[in-house]
Amino acid sequence: MNFLQLFAHNLTQGPFTDPFPFQPAPTAKRFRGKIEFDPETCEGCRKCEKVCPAGAIRFTKTDKGLEFDCWHDSCVFCGNCEFHCPTNAIHQTQDWHLAHVQQDKYSMVAHGVIPSHECPSCGKPALFTAAPANKVKGFSEAEIAEFRALCPKCRGKYLRDRKSR
């Protein structure tokens, strides 16, 4: 290797380091970064909680409904939750800017609530979770909305009724 040539090359083509933080650093499109959660599309199956090796994800039942928390400081960005999530309600973003001051360490959380409401059919409290895609195949928009509002028991009944129709 001709090092003089290499030096000349590096002098004209370089530097090869990114000038971060003075300029944004390029980030790959597929970069596996900070977790984002969308309660709108979550089925509440809690698979992500089960497969998370770091124990970063916790679901808690409260008066408001099913609360989701993902602790960014515990997360190891493995993407297991995203891979096993049936609806892509949890997914990794390209964002890797997670540096924070010590005081903020307990607020580095992705939070979401799947609200609790009354089942319009039986009046019992139910979670407003997304309808599992495999159950509502071929449903119309209106049917999906109707189905979604029901409690698990009434959902079962709805499916049976629809089949016999």
Partner 1 sequence: MTDHTVACSYKIPVGPLHVALEEPMYFRVAVKGETIETVELNAGHVHRGVEYLATKRTLLQNMILTERICSLCSNSHPEALAMAAETIGAVEVPERAQYLRVIAGEVKRVASHLFNVGILAHLVGYEALFMHAMQVREVAQDLKEAVYGNRMDLGAHCLGGTRCDMDDEAITYMRSALDKLEPDVRELEKTYRTNGSILRRTRGIGILSHADAIACGVVGPVARASGIQYDVRTAAPYHVYDRLPVNVPVLDGCDVWSRAMIRLSEAVNSIEILRVCLDQLPEGPINDGGDPYIPPGQAIARTEAPRGELVYYLKTNDNPEPERLKWRVPSYPNWDALTFMLKEAKVADIAIIVNSIDPCISCTER
Site residues (CB under 6 A) for ligand SF4?
Answer: 35, 42-48, 52, 54, 56-57, 70, 75-81, 85-87, 89-90
- Check if the beta carbon of residue 43 is closer than 8 Å to that of residue 86: yes
Nearer to partner 1, 99 or 101 (CB): 99
CB of 110 to ligand SF4, least distance (A): 9
Residue ranges of the alpha helices (H) in 14-151?
A: 47-51, 80-84, 141-149
Of the residues 41, 74, 80, 116, which one makes contact with partner 1 according to CB under 8 A: 80
Coil, helix or strand at residue 31: coil
Residue identified by tokens 């300029």 is 23
Nearer to partner 1, 75 or 127 (CB): 75
**Residue 121, CB half-sphere, CA atoms under 13 Å: how many?**
14
Strands 65-71 and 57-61: antiparallel
- Tokens (6 digits) for 20: 């971060």
46 binds, among partner 1, ligand SF4, none (CB under 5 to 8 A by kind): ligand SF4
126 binds, among ligand SF4, partner 1, none (CB under 5 to 8 A by kind): none
Nearer to partner 1, 3 or 22 (CB): 3
